[in-house]
Structures are given as structure tokens and as C-alpha cells.
Amino acid sequence: MKKAITLLPLFFLILAGCGENPQVSVDELIANGSLEEIKERKKTLAEQERDLRISLRKIDSVIQSRERSSNVPLVTTLEITSSSFEHYLDLQGNVETKQNILLFPEMAGTLMRVYVKDGDPVRKGQVLAKIDDGGLASRLEQLRTQAALAETTYERQKRLWEQNIGSEIQYLQAKTNYEGAVNAVSQAEAQLGKSTISAPFSGIVDEVMQEEGSTVNPAAGMAVFRLVNLSEMYVDVDVPESYLEGVTPGKRVKIYIPVLGDSIETKVRQTGNFINPANRTFRAEIPVPNRDGSIKPNLTVRVRINDYTNPGALLIPPSVISENSEGEQFVYVASEVGPDQIGKAEKRIITTGLSQGDLIEVLSGLRPGEHIIMEGARRVREGQEIEILNQA
């Protein structure tokens, strides 16, 4: 109405200046004009007054409409579309290998020869070191000679017995002597085998712990070598029991190794069948490819397991979600939007699922194609008129 008031001086100025002769004012016309001229001026001014009042009513209507529109909240909206959603469980673990062992001597004695050094690759069964056997090798040769003689005696006595020549007791004694000699040879070979340290699997000699000439003793717990195989690496992580259904063999895994700045994509190989009562977790084993040998045991890694995937999820930012006194989550949807981008705010109770980053999955309450209110969502009320600035 202020704008209407400012037009009144203009209205009276026009009235004062209107007439058949714009050079003659109303006062001059009254003083010098004839009655007919005065009546004609009155008629003209009345018509102009009527036109101005019609214009003022139009102006008042526009002013009231615009003042009413200025009280409508301005909002922005986001169109809901379905997209692929992947949730990852973040855990921390250590790289391990099942083939990382210490090799101990099986007999006491002097370490006569060490055939490898630190970092040497070895094959399964390869001899790594030799311990003084204390004459076992010579004793073994004697036993083998005795076994050969016992075998010859037994074979001859057997042939005679089959021809019914000689007594049964001679045959049985020859057989017993032969079997005893064979057993003695086997025992001596086993004992002599303890004088060598061999690789139980193919790998790398990580450390030689004893030098040639040193005395070793299995009772003292003196390790001679550390043997490691870096090709069979894995990560062992503890997974909370709440993810028992989501983390299963075959699930995709992303492993990040901070020290190396490298990432590896692999899959869960095995999950445990036992829930640890101390921390309510179960075990998951994840293989780690190590083609260049850069990954070492006990490295700390970040493990991200893809425990949930929805190819047609409805995703919204968590910042637009509010909660009522009953604990229900809700958002506002722009409805009945006209060409002038004026619509209404409609409250929707929703159910949410998992979140990842700056998005959360909506399980119910929204449909694809609807527009949720983004900026200004905290200022609107149910059924309130809104004006949309833009739609993303």
C-alpha cells in the first residue's frame, strides 16, 4: 500500500494540469472562464479520476500478490532416481602366511656345513645344512652289509625249507635275523637323516641364525633358519557377527596397503564357523596375490569387504532427513508443482537402510521420479506453499 500512497501526489498533479488548455490552471479557469468551460473541465477531470482509480486498483492487486509471494519459502529439489549401491565393511588386518617357519635341528652336534645364505631361494626337499653325525654314516654301512648277508642266508634257507631240507627252526631263525637287520638299517637311516636340515617347502631363506662350526641342540630350542614362502599370502580379519550373512566366501574385497600405497582386489576365500564369545566376531580369510614379492608378513592393511549390493537403490543425502517425536524418519517432497515453480511441501515417512559416504539408501516411502526438498527443507511445514528455485 505504500506504493499506492506515493501515487496520490501524482494523481492530484495530473488533475491540476488536465484540461482543454493545458496552459490554463484550474484557478485561472475559475477566475476568468465561463460556466460552460468550467463544466467541461469538471467532466474531463471526472473521467480522468475514474481511469486513475481503475489503475490504482490494478496496482494494489499486483502489490498484494507479490507481497504474498515473498512469504513463500524458496527451496531446491533433487529428483529421485534408482542407481547401483554398494556397501563396504571397513576393517583392519595384518598380512600373514602359513609358510613362515623356524627350522630347528633334530639332533645335537656340530653344524658342519651351511649350504645357503640369507635371501636364497630354495626348493622343497633341498638340503640347507649338515650336522656332524658322530659316526652314524659308518655304522649305517656296517648295518647294510650285515643286512645283505642276512638276506642271502635267509634266501638260501628258504629254498632248502621248500625242498624239505633242514629244520623249520633254522628257517625261522634266518628269517628273523634278516628282518631284524632290515629294521636296524631303517632306524640308522632315519637317525642319520636327522643330521641334515632340509626345506619342508619351496620358499626363501629369510635368515640364517647359526654359523658353521657352532654347536646346535634341539633341547635348547636353537633355530637354524627362518624359511618364508611369500607366494601364499593372506589377510586374516575378525568380522562382527552382525555381518554373518553379508560376509561369505566369494564376496569382493578391496585391500589397501598404506606402506606400499597399493591396492589389491580379491575375494573372500573362507569364513569361520565359530563366533568368538570374547568379542562376538568370526574369522574371514582373504588371499593376497604377491606376484612381485613386495608384500611382507605382518604388514598392516585396510580391508573393505563388499557385504551388500543393490543395483536399483534409491539414494538420498542424510542431511535432508528429519526425525519426529516418535522416532520416525521423514523428508519433504515437492508436490503439485505448477509452471511457475510453485508447489506444496508433502511430508513422507521413510525407512532407511545402509549408508556409504554421503548417501543413504531409502527402503520405503519414496518412488523414482519424485523430487525431495534439499535446501530449505528445515524451514517448510506439511502442506505449505513453496517456490522451487531449481531442480537437479
pLDDT tens digits, one per residue of 251-301: 999 999 999 988 999 999 999 999 999 999 999 999 998 888 888 888 999
Would you state the pLDDT for residue 158? 82
Would you state the pLDDT for residue 278? 93
Q: How far is CA 67 from CA 5, 6, 70, 131, 340, in A?
A: 16, 17, 5, 102, 16
Instruction: Identify the helix (H) or strand (E) that includes residue 308.
Output: strand 300-316
pTM across the whole model: 0.59
Q: How far is CA 77 from CA 74, 186, 320, in A?
A: 10, 86, 10
Evaluated on CA atoms 190, 192, 194, 198, the torsion sign reads negative
For the chain, give me the number of helices (H) and strands (E)?
Answer: 6, 22
Phi, psi torsion values for 3, nearest 5 degrees: -65, -35
Averages of pLDDT over runs of 10 residues in the chain (392 residues) are: 43 45 69 80 86 84 60 86 92 89 89 90 92 80 86 84 79 86 85 85 90 86 89 90 92 93 92 93 92 87 94 92 91 88 90 90 93 88 86 48
Cβ pair 224, 207 in contact under 8 A: no
How far apart are the C-alpha atoms of 76 and 375, rounded to whole Å? 5
Residue 324: CA atoms inside 13 Å, Cβ hemisphere, count?
Answer: 12
Residue 139: CA atoms inside 13 Å, Cβ hemisphere, count?
Answer: 13
How far apart are the C-alpha atoms of 115 and 130, rounded to whole Å? 8
How many Cβ atoms sit within 10 Å of the Cβ of residue 153?
Answer: 17
Would you state the pLDDT for residue 304? 95
How far apart are the C-alpha atoms of 243 and 272, rounded to whole Å? 12
